[in-house]
Each structure stands twice: as C-alpha cells, then as structure tokens.
Amino acid sequence: MSRDRDELRRLHFINALFAHLTGHDLYLANQIKGAIAFSLAELETQTTAHPEFAQKYDAAFNAAAAELLAKLFRHLPRHGFFHWDASLTLASATPLFTRAEIMAGLKHLAPYRESTLLVTNLRPALLPPTRRATPRRKRDYAEAIASIQDLAAARTARSANLHLLFL
C-alpha cells in the first residue's frame, strides 16, 4: 500500500513540476516519471530488497527530476532557471545562508521576464527525518518558506513572472 502511495505522490510531483510541458496530462507525467525511475533502476532494486533505502531513493528521484528540469530550461533561452539545494552544507538552511542563496538566485533571474526558482531539500534540512519534528523545527521550516516567498515577492520586478517551486 505504501509503495502505491509513493508512486502516486511521485506522479503528482512530476505532473506539477513539468506542468508547462505536460499540460497537466497524467499520461505524459507518468512517462516522465517512468524515465526517471528507469534511470534509477538499480537503486529501486536495492530499495525493494532493503526498505530502509526508501528515503535515499526519494532523494535520488527528486535530484534526478531537478536535473531534468534544469536541462529542459537550458534549452529555453528566454526562461531563467536557478536551483538551490538547501542540504548542500549543514549551514545552508540557516536564515542567513538561505537569504544569501535566494538573493543570488534572484539576481541571476533578474534579466528574465519568465523564470523558475527551484528550492530543494529545505524540509529535510530543517526537519531531518531521523530526528523528531519538534514545534521549533516546524516553526523554523514554516518561517524559512515564508521568508523565501516574501524575499522573492519583494525582489522580483512586477513585470516578471517568477515560478517558485519547493521540493
């Protein structure tokens, strides 16, 4: 049952992430999901044998989807793209570093009328799956999302269309 739920969650994730490409067609989203899963076939086999690898598989799936999205946007010269992975270092998800990274991304995206800012692994960086989700950690996560949204709204030109995605 859990495996089916994970597959459905991944399908909706891909459908939302690539909506501009699929037009919210679940059949096309399923094909993209299948291609990503095929590239991770060995890890998926290991996950079947060792269910404790499920988080590792999810992280690899999200990374592969983000990489595919980055490749797609590289071929669209009029569309800006910036990806920030909050789990790169232990300090990445702290408010100071978050602000610096998002500001760097917004500066990179400033020349584009249409752009996408992708933030990955913010939740696991602030709410580690191996630790308890305390009220303070939940509050820090909610505040991080709110500050990124506020910063993006304040630092993006009114004429620009910025897509802010959190994975």
Q: Residue 9: what pLDDT?
A: 84
CA distance 141 to 21: 30
Looking at residue 95, its pLDDT comes to 85
The amino acid occupying position 99 is R
Other C-beta atoms closer than 10 Å to the C-beta of 53 total 16
d(CA 86, CA 122): 5
What pTM, to 2 d.p., does this model score?
A: 0.77
Compute mean pLDDT per 10 residues along the chain, 167 residues long, and list them.
Answer: 77 84 87 88 76 75 85 83 83 83 94 90 85 90 94 93 88
Q: In this predicted structure, what is the pLDDT of residue 130?
A: 81
